[in-house]
C-alpha cells in the first residue's frame, strides 16, 4: 500500500535525472554563443560621429541597379533583421538581388545630449544618402524605413523628395492619436522634458522597462520555459540568446531628439496635422509623390495598425500599396513568414519600381 503511494527508489531516480538535466541546462546556457547576429557579409563605407553606414556584399549577379538604404529606429539595434542565416531578413534581401545599405546609429554618450531631429534627418540621413548616391552613381535611391526609422524616412522624403526614388515603410507609425497600444497611451502623458533634464541621454535600460511591459507576463515566462525544454538544440539556444541580447542591449536616447519626438508625435500628433517642423522647415507629407509601399503586422503590439494604416491618407503618392501580414512586430523580420512572404514582397515591389 505505502509502496504504491510513495516509491522511494523511483522518486530518487527521478530526482537524479532532474538534477542531471538542470546541470546540463546550466552548462548549455553558459556555453551558448550569441553571435548569430550580423553574419551577412558587409563593410563600413561611411562614418559620421557615432553613425556607421554598412554596405552588404553583393551575392548575386542580378543586382537591382537602384541601391536601397535601411533606416532603423533609434530604439534597439538593427541586428534583429540579420539573425541566423536561415531566417535573416537582410540576407534574404541581399540574396534576392538588392544592393543594400544599413545605418547603425550607435550608442549615444553624454556629449550627444543636444543631437536633434534636425541632426538625424537633415544631416545624418542626408549625408548618408549623398554618400550612397555618389558611390553608386545613382541619382536617387530607395529607402526602407523600419518602425521609428520609417517615421524618420517619411519626414526625410518629404523634405528631400528629389533624392528618393521609392519609399518602403515597415511597421511604421504616422498617426499617434490611437490608444490601441500601451506605449501610445503612455506617450501622451510622459514628460520628456523632465526626463531629459534628469538624464541628458535617456538610458537604454529605461527604454527597455517601457517596452518589456508591453508584453503579458505569461509570454515573458513561457519563452524561458520553451527554451529550457529545447536545450538539446544548440542552434535554437544560440538564436534565443542572440534575441535576448538584442532585446536588452538598447542604446540610450539623445535627449534633444527624444523630447522633440515624444512631444511632436505622441503628445501633439503634429506630423499628420501638417504642423511638424524640422530644421525650420515644415514637413508636408503630400510632397511624397514617389511610389510608397506600406507593410504592417496584424498582431503588432508595439505599433498598432491604427497608427500605420493611415500613411496612405497623408502622402501625396498616386502609387501607394499597403499590405498586412498575420504576424507580430518582430515576426515581420524573424519568422518563416518573413522569409516566405514579407521579404519577397519588398524585393518584388522594389525591383518592379526601380527600372
Catalytic machinery residues: 147
Q: Is 91 helix (H, G, I), strand (E, B) or coil?
A: helix
Measured in residues, the chain has a length of 355
Angle, helix 234-248 to helix 8-31, in steps of 10 degrees? 60
CA 175 to CA 344: how far, in whole Å?
27
Contacts of 165 (CB under 8 A, 6+ apart): 66, 138, 140, 141, 142, 290, 353, 354
CA 16 to CA 284: how far, in whole Å?
68
CA distance between the termini of the chain: 82
Beta strands in the chain (DSSP E): 42-48, 51-56, 68-71, 100-104, 141-146, 164-170, 201-202, 253-254, 277-278, 281-282, 292-297, 320-325
Pair 266, 185: CB distance under 8 Å: no
Pair 272, 155: CB distance under 8 Å: no
CA 29 to CA 173: how far, in whole Å?
37
For residue 127, give the DSSP letter: H
Q: Is 190 helix (H, G, I), strand (E, B) or coil?
A: coil
- Phi first, then psi: give them for residue 277, nearest 5 degrees: -125, 140
Amino acid at each position: 500500500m505505502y509502496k504504491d503511494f510513495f516509491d522511494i527508489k523511483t522518486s530518487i531516480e527521478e530526482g537524479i535525472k532532474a538534477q542531471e538535466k538542470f546541470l546540463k541546462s546550466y552548462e548549455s546556457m553558459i556555453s551558448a554563443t550569441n553571435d548569430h547576429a550580423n553574419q551577412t557579409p558587409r563593410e563600413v563605407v561611411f562614418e559620421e560621429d557615432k553613425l556607421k553606414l554598412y554596405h552588404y556584399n553583393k551575392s548575386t549577379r542580378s543586382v537591382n541597379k537602384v541601391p536601397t538604404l535601411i533606416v532603423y529606429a533609434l530604439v534597439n539595434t538593427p541586428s534583429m533583421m540579420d539573425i541566423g542565416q536561415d531566417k535573416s531578413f537582410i540576407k534574404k534581401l541581399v540574396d534576392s538581388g538588392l544592393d543594400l545599405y544599413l545605418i547603425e546609429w550607435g550608442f549615444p554618450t553624454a556629449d550627444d545630449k543636444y543631437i536633434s531631429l534636425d541632426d538625424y534627418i537633415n544631416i545624418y540621413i542626408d549625408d548618408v544618402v549623398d554618400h550612397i548616391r555618389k558611390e553608386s552613381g545613382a541619382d536617387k535611391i530607395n529607402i526602407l524605413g523600419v518602425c521609428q526609422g520609417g517615421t524618420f524616412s517619411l519626414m526625410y522624403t518629404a523634405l528631400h523628395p528629389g533624392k528618393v526614388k521609392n519609399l518602403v515603410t515597415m511597421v511604421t507609425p504616422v498617426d499617434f492619436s490611437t490608444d490601441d497600444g500601451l506605449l501610445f497611451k503612455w506617450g501622451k502623458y510622459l514628460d520628456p522634458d523632465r526626463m531629459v533634464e534628469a538624464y541628458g541621454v535617456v538610458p537604454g535600460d529605461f527604454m527597455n522597462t517601457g517596452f518589456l511591459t508591453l508584453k503579458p507576463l505569461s509570454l515573458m515566462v513561457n519563452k524561458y520555459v520553451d527554451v529550457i525544454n529545447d536545450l538539446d538544440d544548440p542552434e535554437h539556444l544560440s538564436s534565443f540568446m542572440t534575441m535576448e541580447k538584442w532585446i536588452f542591449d538598447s542604446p540610450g536616447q539623445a535627449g534633444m531628439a527624444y523630447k522633440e519626438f515624444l512631444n511632436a508625435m505622441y503628445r501633439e500628433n503634429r506630423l499628420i496635422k501638417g504642423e511638424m517642423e524640422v530644421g525650420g522647415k515644415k514637413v508636408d507629407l503630400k510632397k511624397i509623390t514617389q511610389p510608397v509601399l506600406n507593410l504592417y503586422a496584424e498582431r503588432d503590439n508595439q505599433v498598432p495598425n491604427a497608427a500605420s494604416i493611415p500613411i496612405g491618407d497623408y502622402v501625396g503618392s498616386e502609387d501607394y500599396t499597403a499590405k498586412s501580414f498575420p504576424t507580430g512586430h518582430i515576426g515581420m523580420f524573424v519568422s518563416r513568414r518573413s522569409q516566405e512572404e514579407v521579404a519577397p514582397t519588398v524585393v518584388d515591389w522594389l525591383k518592379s519600381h526601380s527600372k
